[in-house]
C-alpha cells in the first residue's frame, strides 16, 4: 500500500504524548536517549511530565513534537509500515526531511533545537503584552481574498499559514491585526480568532531568527531526497538537497502553503494518508480538501495497532 506520512507541527503538543509508544518500543527509548543527548534536556521528563506552560515554550515544543513524530515513524517501521512520500506542516517539515533521507536523525534534533531557541528568542524580544506582534486565524475567507487584502503586507499584516481553503492564519503587529479583524469581517469572514502564540511566525517579523538560522545551516550538507517530499514554501515537491536547505531557511519568514501541498499530495496517487505524530490537526485539515481519501490519525499505540 502506497503511504504518505504527514507530520504535525506546533500546536499538536500535549503532556504525555507518545508515552505508550515509548513504553512499547526499545528503539523509541533509544531515540529518546539520542534526542536528550543532542538537545541537552531529559526529553522523557519534558514530554511526559512537564506542565503545559513549560511544554508550549517554543524551545521545548520544537524538539518535543519532532521526537514524537520520529517515534511514531519508528514504531510504524517496526511493524512494516513505511512512507512512500512525506510532508510536514511548519516544524513538522523537519521530520519529513529526515524521513526522506535529506538529513540524519542526529541532524534533525540538532536543527530543531537551534530553530526552537532562535524562535523563542524572537518571542522573548517581542514580549507578550497587548502591543506585541501576534497571529490570528481567519475563518471563511478564501486565500485569494486574503492575498488581495494582505498579500503585500498591508497594515503590517502578512498571510502566514494557508491551512485550508477558507482557514488562513495572519501574522502582524497588534495594531495591524486589530484593523485586520474589522477588514476581514467587512469582507465576510465568519470568525477571527487571536491566537496564543509566542511570536508572529512565518512572517518577515522573524528576519532576525532567519539570519541566525542561516549561520546554523552552514554546518550542514543536505542530501537529495530518496522519496517524494513536499515543501511548505512552494507547495510542491522538493527535488534536491540544496532546494531543501533554501526552503528550510525561507520557511522561517515565508507562509506555509499547506493547502497547495495537500493538492500536490492528492495528485500523486497515494492509497493511504497517515498523520504521523501527536494530535489530529492535519487529519482535520485534510478533510477540508480530500473527503474521498481520509487521513488516518496515528499518534498513539492504539492507533498504530489499528493500522495493522
308 pLDDT exceeds 90? no
CB 227 within 8 A of CB 86: yes
> Grid coordinates standing for 290?
480530500
CATH assignment of 134-195? Answer: 3.30.70.250
The CATH classification of domain 3-126+204-307, taken from the options 3.40.920.10, 3.30.465.10, 3.40.366.10, 3.30.460.20? 3.40.366.10
Buried b (16+ CB within 10 A) or exposed e, 27-63: ebeebbebbbebbebebbebbbebeeeebbbbbbbbb
pLDDT of residue 79: 96
Alpha carbon distance, N-terminus to C-terminus of the chain: 12
pLDDT of residue 292: 85
Locate cell 498513539: which residue? 300
Residue-wise pLDDT tens digits, 125-182? 988 778 899 999 999 999 999 999 998 898 999 999 999 999 999 999 999 999 999 9
Chain centroid offset of residue 123 CA = 17
Tell me if the pTM is above 0.85. Answer: yes
| CA gap 46, 26 in Å, rounded | 19
pLDDT of residue 216: 96
196 pLDDT exceeds 90? no
| CA gap 221, 228 in Å, rounded | 19
Using CA of residue 252, residue 298, residue 162, residue 137, what is the dihedral sign? negative
Q: Nearest to residue 112, comparing CAs of 140, 79, 90, 135?
A: 90
pLDDT of residue 170: 98
Residue-wise pLDDT tens digits, 8-17? 999 999 999 9
Q: Side-chain half-sphere of 283: how many Cα atoms within 13 Å? A: 15
Q: Side-chain half-sphere of 119: how many Cα atoms within 13 Å? A: 29
Q: What φ, ψ does residue 89 adopt, rounded to 5°?
A: -95, 125
| CA gap 149, 143 in Å, rounded | 10
CB 40 within 8 A of CB 22: no
Residue-wise pLDDT tens digits, 284-299? 999 988 878 999 999 9
Residue-wise pLDDT tens digits, 218-241? 999 999 999 999 999 999 999 999
Residue-wise pLDDT tens digits, 246-294? 999 999 999 999 999 999 999 999 999 999 999 999 999 999 888 789 9
**How do the domains of the chain map onto residue ranges?**
3-126+204-307, 134-195
> Grid coordinates standing for 199?
511570536
When the pLDDT of each residue in the chain is averaged and rounded to a whole number, the result is 96
pLDDT of residue 198: 85
73 pLDDT exceeds 90? yes
Which residues are marked as active site? 90, 202
Q: Nearest to residue 303, comparing CAs of 264, 271, 276?
A: 276
Amino acid at each position: 500500500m502506497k503511504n504518505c506520512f504527514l507530520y504535525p507541527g506546533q500546536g499538536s503538543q500535549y503532556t504525555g504524548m507518545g508515552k505508550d509508544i515509548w513504553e512499547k518500543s526499545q528503539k523509541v527509548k533509544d531515540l529518546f536517549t539520542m534526542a536528550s543527548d543532542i538537545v541537552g534536556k531529559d526529553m522523557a521528563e519534558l514530554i511526559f511530565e512537564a506542565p503545559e506552560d513549560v511544554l508550549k515554550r517554543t524551545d521545548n515544543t520544537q524538539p518535543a513534537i519532532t521526537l514524537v513524530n520520529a517515534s511514531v515513524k519508528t514504531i510504524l517501521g517496526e511493524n512494516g509500515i513505511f512512507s512512500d512520500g512525506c510532508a510536514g506542516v511548519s516544524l513538522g517539515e523537519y521530520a519529513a526531511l529526515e524521513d526522506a533521507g535529506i538529513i540524519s536523525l542526529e541532524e534533525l534534533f540538532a536543527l530543531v533545537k537551534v530553530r526552537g531557541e532562535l524562535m523563542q528568542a524572537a518571542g522573548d524580544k517581542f514580549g507578550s503584552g497587548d502591543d506585541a506582534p501576534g497571529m490570528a486565524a481567519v475563518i471563511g475567507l478564501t486565500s485569494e481574498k486574503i492575498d488581495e487584502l494582505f498579500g503585500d503586507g498591508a497594515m503590517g499584516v502578512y498571510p502566514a499559514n494557508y491551512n485550508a481553503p477558507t482557514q488562513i492564519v495572519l501574522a502582524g503587529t497588534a495594531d495591524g491585526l486589530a484593523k485586520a479583524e474589522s477588514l476581514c469581517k467587512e469582507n465576510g469572514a465568519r470568525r477571527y480568532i487571536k491566537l496564543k502564540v509566542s511570536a508572529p511566525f512565518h512572517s518577515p517579523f522573524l528576519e532576525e531568527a532567519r539570519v541566525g538560522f542561516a549561520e546554523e545551516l552552514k554546518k550542514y550538507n543536505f542530501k537529495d531526497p530518496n522519496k517524494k517530499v513536499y515543501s511548505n514554501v512552494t507547495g510542491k515537491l522538493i527535488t534536491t538537497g540544496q532546494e531543501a536547505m533554501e526552503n528550510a531557511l525561507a520557511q522561517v519568514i515565508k507562509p506555509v502553503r499547506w493547502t497547495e501541498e495537500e493538492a500536490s499530495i492528492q495528485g500523486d496517487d497515494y492509497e493511504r494518508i497517515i498523520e504521523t505524530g501527536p494530535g489530529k490537526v492535519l487529519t482535520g485539515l485534510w478533510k477540508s480538501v480530500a473527503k474521498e481519501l481520509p487521513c488516518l490519525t496515528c499518534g498513539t499505540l492504539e492507533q498504530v495497532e489499528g493500522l495493522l
